[in-house]
Amino acid sequence: MRESSAVRWARRIVLTFLTVFTVVPLYVMVVSSIKPLQDVQGAFTWFPSHVTFRPFVDMWHTVPLGRYFINSLVVATCATVCSVAIAIFTGYAVSRYRFAGRGTFMTVVLSTQMFPGILFLLPLFLIFVNIDRYTGITLYGSRLGLIITYLTFALPFSIWLIAGYFDTIPRELDEAARVDGAGPMRTLFRVLLPVAAPGIVAVAIYAFMTAWGEVLFASVLTDQSTRTLAVGLREYANQAQVYWNEVMAASLVISLPVVVGFLALQRFLVHGLTAGAVKS
């Protein structure tokens, strides 16, 4: 099948435009992170006057970035693990059982995706405080509160995707396992999970990215010791100088783990979306 030259040129032009559009900000981020301070305070230049890696060293002292990194890592990892685990159980129930209230449950869960965060930010804070007052479990200003919040943010999409994925797995497999004497939980772990691995990886990426990048709730629900990167990055602005080169260096380091992870695992996401959401 030959394609006409018009199509060929259209492809070249469109892809070139999209490449430039994508790359320029990334280039600015990288190049600014290896510039000396006076370079980022004056007019923009495409190249550093001299290359320096000082920003990558200094940025850890300007703000306690190391602590924020650990906080973000703990919060995002725990939120991801819990979110995926809950989504697996829920997805299994929704996919394999007919029970009263199933439709309502799915509708409500999915509709929470459209709640404006601002609507339940203060009430959530208030609830956390009251839980603390009556049970002694500290949820505000602690990582735990943030973990519970973030795992819920990723839950609707995760349940939907995993339930869809389970639906694509033929029930004959369940039946076969049952004939071998496996109970429902064993069927889930032995039969469904191995097949659904790509979908689960996809959900995990999504949940991790959600938690890693959330700003609004983190700014209200954390304090100095539990602050995450999303809030911490703003602190570079509260300095005697705005260290743009350090901001860019920090951004680069913060982005690297999620970007690398995402790119390494994105085929699972494509696969998961294909199998779970779009079923032929």
Partner 1 sequence: MKARGIAALAASVMLAAGLAACGSGGGSDKSSPKTLTYWASNQGRSIQQDQQVLGPELKKFEAKTGIKVKLEVIGWPDLLNRILAATSSGAGPDVVNVGNTWSASLQATGAFQPFDDATIAKVGGKAKFIPSTLTSTGAAGKPPAFVPLYGLAYGLFYNKKLFADAGLKPPQTWQDLVTDAKKLTIPAKKQYGVVMEGASYTEGSHFAFMFGAQNGAKLFQGGQPGFDSPQMVAGVKQYVDLMAGQKVVNPSNAEYVNDSDMLKDFAKGRAAMMMIQSYAPKGLAENGMKEGEFGVVPIPVINPLPPGGRKVSSHVAGINIGVFKNTKNKDGALKLVDFLTSPDEQKILDTQLGPLPVVPQAYNDPKFQTPEIKTFKDILANSAETLPMIPEEAQFETLVGNTVKQLIADAASGKTVDDQTIKNALTAANKKMQTGG
Partner 2 sequence: MSDTITAPGDAPARAPGGPRRRRRRPTRNLLPYVLLVPALIAELAIHIIPMLVGVWMSLLHLTQFFIRNWTAAPYGGLTNYRVAMDTHGPVGKDLLHSFLITAAVTVLVVAGAWVFGLAAAVFLQKPFRGRATLRTLFLVPYALPVFTAVITWRFMFQRDSGMVNNVLSDELHLVHGHPFWLLGGNSFAALVIINIWRLWPFAFLTLTAGLQSVPGDLYEAAAIDGAGFVRKLRSVTLPLLRPVNRVLLLVLFLWTFNDFNTAYILFNQPPANADMISIHIYNASFITWNFGLGSAMSVLLLAVLLVVTLVYLGTGRLRSRHA
Distance of alpha carbon 106 from alpha carbon 108, whole angstroms: 6
CA 191 to chain centre: 28
Interaction of residue 74 with partner 1, rule CB under 8 A: yes
* The token pair that represents 221 in the structure block: 């629900």
Tokens (6 digits) for 241: 């100088």
- In angstroms, give the least distance from the CB of 129 to partner 1: 4
Please report whether residue 73 would count as binding partner 2 according to CB under 8 A.
no
Site string for partner 1, 164-203 (x = CB under 8 A): -------------------xxx------------------
Instruction: DSSP letter for 8, please.
Output: H
160 vs 244 by CB, closer to partner 1: 244
23 binds partner 2 (CB under 8 A): yes
Contact partner, 181, from partner 1, partner 2, none, Cβ < 5-8 Å per class: none
Q: Which does 215 bind (CB under 5 to 8 A by kind): partner 2, partner 1, none?
A: partner 2
Cα 34 from Cα 157, distance rounded (Å): 38
Check residue 176 for interaction with partner 2 (CB under 8 A): no
Does residue 58 bind partner 1 (CB under 8 A)? Answer: no
Q: Considering only residues 126 through 145, tell me which ones interact with partner 2, judged by CB under 8 A.
A: 126-127
51 binds partner 2 per the rule CB under 8 A: no
- Alpha carbon of residue 136 to chain centroid: 30
Single residue of 73, 193, 197, 273 touching partner 2 by CB under 8 A: 273
Rounded-to-integer distance, Cα 154 and Cα 147, Å = 11
Phi, psi of 84 (to 5 degrees): -65, -45
The one among 219, 253, 262, 265 contacting partner 1 by CB under 8 A: 219
66 is a site residue for partner 2 (CB under 8 A)? no
> Within 13 Å of residue 265, how many CA atoms lie on the same side as its CB?
21
d(CA 165, CA 38): 53
What's the CA dihedral at 70, 217, 141, 156 to 10 degrees? -80
Report what 15 binds from partner 1, partner 2, none; CB cut-off 5-8 Å by kind. partner 2
- Which letter does DSSP use for residue 34 in this model? T
Q: Does 160 bind partner 2 (CB under 8 A)?
A: yes
> Nearer Cβ to partner 1, position 1 or 43?
43
- The nearest distance, CB 65 to partner 2, in angstroms, is 13
Give yes or no for residue 93 binding partner 2 (CB under 8 A). yes
DSSP code of residue 232:
H
